[in-house]
Structure 1
Amino acid sequence: MIIVVAACSQYSSRPGAITFHNIAARYNAYFMAEQNMADAEFEMRKGYKENYNQLLPILLPMDSVLAQAVKPKLLDAIKKASIVAEKHQNSKWIDNSYILLGKARLYLGQWADGLEALRYVYANGRDDDDKNNALILLMRAYIEHKDYSNALGVAEYLSQQPLNKTSQRDFYLTKAYLHQQNGEYLTAVAILEETFPLLKKSTETARIHFAAAQMYDRLGQYALANRHYKSVNKNKPSYDLGFYSSMNSLQNEVVLNPERDLTNVGFDKMLKDRKNDDLKDHVFFTMGLLAEHKKQIPEAVSYLQKAAAASKGNMQQKAYTYLQLARIEYESLENFEMSKAYYDSALAILPQEAPEYRLVADRKRALDNFVTQYTVVSTEDSLQRLAKMNPAALDNKIDGIIEAKEKKRLEEEEKARKAQIAAQNASLQQGGGNPLVTGGERRWELYDPALVSKGKIDFKRAWGNRPLEDDWRRSSRPLRTLAGNNAASGTDSTGVAQTQQENTGLKKGTPEWDQVHALLKKDVPLSDTAFAVSQKKKEDALYNLGKIYRFDLKESHRAIAAFERVLSEYPKTQYKDEIYYLLFLSNEENTAQKESWKSKLLSEYPTSTYARLVNKSTDTGGTSGNATKEYEAAYKLYADGDYTKALEDIEKNLPSYKGSSMEDKFALLRVFLIGKVRGKEAYGQAITEFMRLYPTSIYLPRLKEMQEFNSLSMGKR
């Protein structure tokens, strides 16, 4: 027995011992580990939810969150693979076990341990094929960590190695995945074209064809994209994959043949197919995109609204529909309030982990501020036009506004009354139930974020900001003014039919009419003082609009128009030097205009901060290291009490660091030094200037406190 056991030692190089451990490792520990890994990958593949609105990754991402559902299987795979390393050292399966162990750890998010196992195989492996397979997996791990330089290094090495057919297929797919994730779509599809002959017919092959077609779409190669979309259906796709492939193929046919009518391309057939009931939203969405592509904006909006209405539980698709509607309302229709409402709705249902979430949130915040400023400009424009009318024309204009709003209100109440009666009749025919949710297809409006947002806007426009209280619309309440655009002449909406019979609207010449007329007229800036206040509001709002266009919405051409309008309408504006500077920045593509605004700034405001900024140094002094040293030198002068010299150095160096992370830090020290050298008034001006120049600085809260303290001290003096 001792001799037999010794002969079968894992450290023995005897043929019998090696054969024994090869069999024991392969058909015991490694077999079970491999089965656990296969089961885990199958479950993760089933659990992965494809987003067909986004570019499909060529390889499924190694997601540790997705792996939590199969964590026991992965841990058992690690345990079994470790047995081979511990008890079968002379087995030829030890390299395979380390690769499997490394892959399991990568799936679980244990990157350091996973990379170490794969590097061990590369350094100590006995079989070249196993070493190559470990490197392919290592390359994929680098891609998942967005370490593209290391991934490219591994790819360069592997490209020089002789690979067997399976390894070559995996290497090509991983390298294509690398270039896809790095945004190099042309390289990625070129590699995939070499890979497809190595792939067998399968759902995974169909998926890769779809990813290749999407990349061709992004490259504008629609005919090549369609070739791969058609290949999807030849490779056993899932139903959804086949549907989206057919959908995108039809979309490309319309793009390639602009004369084709959307109604006879094939979308109607897809809408009639009962199997596509839960996918109708995407059909309408695609039709909306194509209508917009054909410059048919009203049709595009109609299709997209149908897509939103057809979404049944697919909140992600609904969010994308709202985003498209928001963009069209903003860019094509310039209906900014509706655009904001759609952004609000999209943000309410878009998952926070979605790649667009942060961009949408930023856009929504920018539009919130934008709509506020735009409303001020529109309102003051309208009021100022009214103020310039003669008294009789003004009275007639206000009476016309009241008549139009009364007519619209009565029409809307009549429409609401008929809709409620129709809904009640439908409910009675079906045996009762809530008329707002009967019929299967209708949704209660409070479940639709877009309708809720629109309702809030309409309510605020008509009634303003109301406190939460009962019976706020009673006729005994004083009527509100309509400086914000609309008259407050609503009635209680309960008992619509009865109200319609009793209320036929305001009558001209009655006290109620005269009261509404007086309240509307009160908003018109008829006195010089009121007109000046209105002008100031409009000037500030236009200036703020220009900054929002420039910095938040990244629309330089609109920013230029807004700033030039300020200069045209308010030649003596307090923002003149800053607007010159912002026009200098906004004319990136127009060198002549850029130099013109620079010249104006330097000639009219040669000592301003903005003049120093446009004259910033172009030498190599703007590096991070030099900036830190120069800041520390200036701060030492400040700490030593040599304020004048420190201020001279700061004002000389500040323009050199425009756009760097140190800029606002230099500017903050400059504010302190101005307070020491030039007195409190200059100090207050420097604080205000800082707040205008650096609205997103982390030092802004501190500056606001300093401003309040300076104002108090100036008041006491």
Structure 2
Amino acid sequence: MIDRYITHISRLLLCLIFISCFFACSQFSSKRGAIGFHNLSARYNAYFMAEQDLLNAEYEMKKAFKEDYNQILPILLPMDSILSLPVKPQLENAVKKASIVAEKHQNSKWLDNSYIVLGKARLYMGEWPDGLEALRYVYANGRDENDKNDALILLMRAYIVQKDFSNALGVAEYLSQQALDKNSTRDFYLTKAYLHQQNGEYLTSVAILEETFPMLSKSTETARIHFAAAQMYDRLGQYALANKHYKSVQKNTPDYNLGFYSSMNSLQNEVVLNPERDLSSVGFEKMLRDRKNDDLKDKIYFTMGLLAEHRKQIPEAIDYLQKAASASKGTNTQQKAYTYLQLARINYEALENFEKSKSYYDSALIILPEEAPEYRLVADRKKALDDFVTQYMLVNMEDSLQNLAKMNPAALDNYIDNIIETQEKARVEEQRKAREEMEMAQNATSRSTPNPMMNGNERRWELYDPALVNQGKIEFKRTWGNRPLEDDWRRSSRQLKTLAAGSPDNPLDSAEVPVASSDSIMKKGSREWNELHDTMKQSVPLTEAQLAESQKKKEDALYNLGKIYRFDLKEPHRSIATFERILADFPNTQHKDEIYYLLYLTYDEGNSNKLAWKDKLLKEYPTSTYARLVSKSPDAAGNATAIGTNPVKEYEAAYKLYLDGNYSKALDDIEQNLPAYKGGPMEDKFALLRVFIIGKVRGKEAYAQAIEEFMRLYPSSVYLPRLKEMQELNSVSMGER
């Protein structure tokens, strides 16, 4: 009985001890024992595991991140939710475990650190509102000043990633006034340098990095930051300082690629700094022979091409760049894209081979990643060059055809006969080569082993037999000729496309002319020869009507070229030369008032020609739209003010004035601001609203003139059918009057 009583008392005491310990260790208790318990549990349980998960995820993301050494390396690893997808489970675990500290260890000194881990993991996953909220919580409620500063440094980095440079600078200004410990100072300097780098302020960025390097230990990451600093010095034209940091890369255990690119860039700078140095003595040949560089030969040739171009050795530069394109292997398409871009630029600027430049831009755009910084610029330039090459070739084609028209009839006939003879020889030679290829394929097939796709005496599928494939090609050419890849190629009723298929050097060379089907050369004087001769001759503008049509095509193409130079390619000097050529060759051009206006816009402020073109416009076309524009606009070039910064809102504002009946104010706003919309996607929409308003305030004759101007200036506008209906209705109304 006594034993049972003692046992009962013991159990009661144990319960009381447990209850007292439980309440003493409450996460809301301020007692030393409770705090010590929660500090221990938080640090070596939840927080430790959360931090390890985050560190492991960061390590994997760094390994997976593909550096683009043609671009300036970002000082800090980008916070990219796509990059974090493979490690999302680890990041989610970090969030889950860090949350335990917030839920169960409120009085722990590791609470702030856990919120920082939680916020950082959420930022990596792209959960920006939750991540930013966690970091702001630490700043507002943190107990440790160092933790609050670390949270602010991470918050600044998040603002930079979001391109919110204003808020990032505000945080940086606050942190610069705080007493930071050694690690926080290092992280703050790196983040501040990252801020200025991403904002394009390279001089400020490298100045901060110079103060940071003494704080960095020897590591691959330090080598990478030295490389980024060297690249920024390159952009600033300070090649000697850049080389100093490229050499520092080699002293900080870089990986192979980083070491290779630092050596390449350093060699490139040495040649720039020593113009007399021979490229063969720099060390490129040795690097090409090194088997470890087999996958990097494209970069070596690319660098040699850049240096050759720097020395104005254009043929050598093109040769090196073409070797670079050929040397690109496997998945290394990024370097190939930059090689194509360089070839496109050289062909455009140095050689003025616009068609080849366009082809290289096409090739670059296919393989250039959409997230690349140049992608949008390349896409816009490619689109501009598509239109440019069409107009440019049209001008040259009409020039060539008009020159042919000036030849005497006998010389023209001989010229056409020479073209036909050359085409015939090329056709027969091509068929001979195709026959030889077929015979070689047949011989190879006869010696080869049976195809596994064949069973017994079953017929072999043609696409497995190269001999049959070649035979099919030859039969196709015999029947249809050498056809381009296009839709509806068998239609016999299509119009002749000589201008599209020919070239300025040989404007009658066309893939659309009839082709003889025999293997023998077509004889001069035969029926086929004469038919082909007559077909090609039809393209030459021999009559006055044909010559007038050719001149009109040339005039319109030059006009389009001038606008492409001005608005798309941003080449004002070529735009001016083209517009002045139109005025010289076509003094009665229907585009004269607009050309005067565009010349006025294109010349720089202070140039006497600018005012001269304005005076001509006001004198010869005082009532035109363009005369009103140059008279009213305080900044007719559309270069300076906030005009045109938000065309959608500005259109809505003008349209509201129109609906409210405030026509004069709406018209003044549109005519004053229209230059800012020039070349933009909403230009014709503003012009259409202007037509409506003119109909309200200036009468039917001005309304008719405004409609005609719109139809002439915007021939491809989606609103053109509507304008034609308006024109018909206005004509009927004026007739009734």
TM-score range, shorter chain: 0.7 to 0.9
Aligned to 2:11: none
Cα shift readout 1:258-312 (whole Å, capped 9, x = no counterpart): 2223333211112111111111111112222222111111111111111111111
Structure 2 residue 64 is the aligned partner of structure 1 residue 47: yes
Aligned to 2:332: 314
Aligned to 2:252: 235
Structure 2 residue 606 is the aligned partner of structure 1 residue 582: no
The answer on whether the counterparts of 2:220 and 2:255 sit within 8 Å (CA) in structure 1 is yes
Aligned to 2:91: 74
The answer on whether the counterparts of 1:684 and 1:707 sit within 8 Å (CA) in structure 2 is no
Structure 2 residue 578 is the aligned partner of structure 1 residue 562: yes
Structure 2 residue 401 is the aligned partner of structure 1 residue 383: yes
The answer on whether the counterparts of 2:583 and 2:592 sit within 8 Å (CA) in structure 1 is yes
Aligned to 1:458: none
Partners of 1:366 and 1:610 in 2: how far apart? 25
| Offset of residue 48 of structure 1 | 1.0
Aligned to 1:690: 710
Larger Rg: 2
TM-score (norm 2): 0.83
The answer on whether the counterparts of 1:621 and 1:656 sit within 8 Å (CA) in structure 2 is no
Which deviates the most, 419-428 or 568-577?
A: 419-428
| Offset of residue 383 of structure 1 | 0.8
Aligned to 2:357: 339
The answer on whether the counterparts of 1:580 and 1:600 sit within 8 Å (CA) in structure 2 is yes
Provide structure 2 residue ranges, at least 5 long, that are not aligned to the other structure: 1-16, 452-480, 636-640
Letter in 2 for 1:12: S
Partners of 1:386 and 1:197 in 2: how far apart? 74
| Offset of residue 77 of structure 1 | 0.9
Partners of 2:496 and 2:712 in 1: how far apart? 35
Aligned to 1:670: 690
Structure 2 residue 195 is the aligned partner of structure 1 residue 175: no
Aligned to 1:455: none
- Among 596, 604, 607, the alignment partner of 2:612 is 596
Aligned to 2:473: none
| Offset of residue 24 of structure 1 | 1.2
- Residues 649 and 76 from structure 1, CA distance in 2 versus in 1: closer, same or farther, beyond 3 angstroms? closer
Aligned to 1:21: 38
Partners of 1:584 and 1:285 in 2: how far apart? 42
Partners of 2:439 and 2:262 in 1: how far apart? 44
Partners of 2:706 and 2:321 in 1: how far apart? 50
Aligned to 1:636: 660
- Residues 247 and 406 from structure 1, CA distance in 2 versus in 1: closer, same or farther, beyond 3 angstroms? farther
| Offset of residue 212 of structure 1 | 0.5
Cα shift readout 1:343-366 (whole Å, capped 9, x = no counterpart): 221222222222222222211211
What secondary structure sits across from 1:66 in the alignment? coil
Cα shift readout 1:628-655 (whole Å, capped 9, x = no counterpart): 77764454227xxxxxxx3x55554433
The answer on whether the counterparts of 2:157 and 2:191 sit within 8 Å (CA) in structure 1 is yes
- Residues 423 and 185 from structure 1, CA distance in 2 versus in 1: closer, same or farther, beyond 3 angstroms? farther
Letter in 2 for 1:248: N
Partners of 1:232 and 1:490 in 2: how far apart? 64
- Residues 421 and 134 from structure 1, CA distance in 2 versus in 1: closer, same or farther, beyond 3 angstroms? farther
Partners of 2:52 and 2:211 in 1: how far apart? 31
The answer on whether the counterparts of 1:614 and 1:655 sit within 8 Å (CA) in structure 2 is no
Structure 2 residue 551 is the aligned partner of structure 1 residue 540: no
Partners of 2:136 and 2:357 in 1: how far apart? 52
Structure 2 residue 221 is the aligned partner of structure 1 residue 204: yes
The answer on whether the counterparts of 2:704 and 2:730 sit within 8 Å (CA) in structure 1 is no
Partners of 1:490 and 1:665 in 2: how far apart? 46
Partners of 1:296 and 1:256 in 2: how far apart? 17
| Offset of residue 331 of structure 1 | 1.6
Which deviates the most, 588-597 or 64-73?
A: 588-597
Aligned to 1:296: 313
Sequence identity of aligned pairs in percent?
67
Aligned to 2:294: 277
Cα shift readout 1:523-565 (whole Å, capped 9, x = no counterpart): 1111111111111111111111111111111111111111111
The answer on whether the counterparts of 1:545 and 1:562 sit within 8 Å (CA) in structure 2 is yes
Taking the TM superposition and a 5 Å limit, the aligned residue runs for 1:416-565 are: 467-468=487-488, 482-483=498-499, 484=502, 485=507, 486-488=509-511, 502-503=519-520, 505-565=521-581
The answer on whether the counterparts of 1:650 and 1:666 sit within 8 Å (CA) in structure 2 is no
- Among 243, 255, 258, the alignment partner of 2:275 is 258
The answer on whether the counterparts of 1:405 and 1:487 sit within 8 Å (CA) in structure 2 is no
Partners of 1:692 and 1:192 in 2: how far apart? 57
Aligned to 2:417: 399
Partners of 1:632 and 1:186 in 2: how far apart? 47
Which deviates the most, 562-571 or 589-598?
A: 589-598
- Among 136, 146, 153, the alignment partner of 1:119 is 136
| Offset of residue 614 of structure 1 | 0.9
Partners of 2:446 and 2:177 in 1: how far apart? 77
Partners of 1:516 and 1:412 in 2: how far apart? 20
Count of aligned pairs between the two proteins: 667
Structure 2 residue 277 is the aligned partner of structure 1 residue 267: no
Backbone CA RMSD of aligned residues: 3.5
Partners of 2:308 and 2:275 in 1: how far apart? 10
Partners of 2:610 and 2:68 in 1: how far apart? 44
| Offset of residue 671 of structure 1 | 0.8
Structure 2 residue 346 is the aligned partner of structure 1 residue 328: yes
The answer on whether the counterparts of 1:402 and 1:487 sit within 8 Å (CA) in structure 2 is no
| Offset of residue 399 of structure 1 | 3.3
Aligned to 1:451: none
| Offset of residue 689 of structure 1 | 2.7
| Offset of residue 517 of structure 1 | 2.6
What secondary structure sits across from 1:615 in the alignment? helix
Partners of 2:339 and 2:439 in 1: how far apart? 32
Aligned to 2:210: 193
Taking the TM superposition and a 5 Å limit, the aligned residue runs for 1:349-388 are: 349-388=367-406
